[in-house]
A = this chain, B = another copy of it.
Amino acid sequence: MNSFVQIVRRDLNLSFRQGMDSAMVVMFFVIAVVLFPFGVGPEPNILMRIAAGVIWVAALLASMLSLERLFQADFEDGSLEILVLQPVPLEIAVIAKITAHWITTGLPLIIAAPILAVLLNMNADGFGMLIAALALGTPSLSLIGAIGAALILGARRGGVLLSLLILPLYIPVLIFGVSAVDATLAGLSVKPHLLILSALLLSSLALCPWVGAAALRQAMRS
C-alpha cells in the first residue's frame, strides 16, 4: 500500500511539474467538441440532439490520446524496466499509475463537460447525469486504455495503433454513458444504464491491472 502511494505521488508530481498535462487534455477535449458546430452547422436543435454523443465521443478520444503516454515516457527512459524489477507487485504499480493518470486527466474532463454541454445547447436537466455518467465511465476508459498503452510500447506509430486497439473496446462505455444521459432527458429510468456502467467499471477494475501488468512484462522481454 505504501508503494502504491509512493508511485501515485511521484506520478502526480511529475505531471504537475511538467505542467500543462491536465490543461492540454482538457483543451483537446474542448477543441474536439467545438469542431462539431463548425462541422454539422450551428442549428441549436440538431446540436442539442447530438450533444451528449459528441461530448462522450470527444471524451473517448481525449482519454485515448492522453493514455498513449501512460507508460511510454517510463519505457523510453528505462524507468519501466526498473519498476518491473522492484519488490512491488507490478499490478499495484499499474493501478497506481492508472490512478494518477485518471486524477490528472479524467477528473478535469468531468469538470469541463458541463460547460461544453452549455455550448451545445444541451438541456440543463441532463448536466447532473452527464457528470455522473462520466464519473463512472472515465475510470473504465483509463483502465481499459492502460492495456492498450502497455501493448503498444516500442511499436511503430503508437498513437494510431492505440486508437485501433482500444476504441472498439471503449464502445460499451460509450453506449451506456450516452444512454444514461439520453434517458434522463427523456424522463426514463437511468438505473439500468448506471448499473451497467458500474458493472463495466468493476469488471475492468478486476481485470485490467492484471492484463496490463502481463502486457508490461511482455514489453520488457525484448
User: A residues bordering B, Cβ < 8 Å?
Assistant: 18, 20-21, 24-25, 27-28, 31-32, 35-36, 38-41, 46, 49-50, 52-54, 56-57, 60-62, 65-66, 68-69, 73, 156-157, 159-161, 163-164, 167-168, 171, 174-175, 178, 182
Contact = CB atoms under 8 A, between A and B. Distances in A.
A35 B57 contact: yes
A213 to B, nearest CB: 24
Given A61-B61, A159-B159, A167 B35 contact: yes
Contact of A65 (B27, B46, B156, B159): B159
B182 A31 contact: no
A20 B157 CA distance: 9
Nearest to A58: B39
12 contacts: A20-B157, A27-B160, A28-B160, A32-B61, A35-B174, A38-B178, A39-B53, A46-B50, A65-B159, A68-B159, A69-B156, A73-B156
A31 B160 CA distance: 11
A157 B50 contact: no
Contacts of A40: 49-50, 53-54, 178
A170 to B, nearest CB: 8
B157 A39 contact: no
Given A24-B157, A38-B178, A73-B156, 19 more contacts: A18-B157, A20-B157, A20-B161, A21-B160, A27-B160, A31-B163, A31-B168, A32-B167, A35-B57, A35-B60, A38-B53, A39-B52, A39-B56, A61-B61, A62-B160, A65-B159, A65-B160, A69-B159, A159-B159
A23 to B, nearest CB: 9
Given A69-B159, A161-B24, A175 B32 contact: no
A31 B182 CA distance: 23
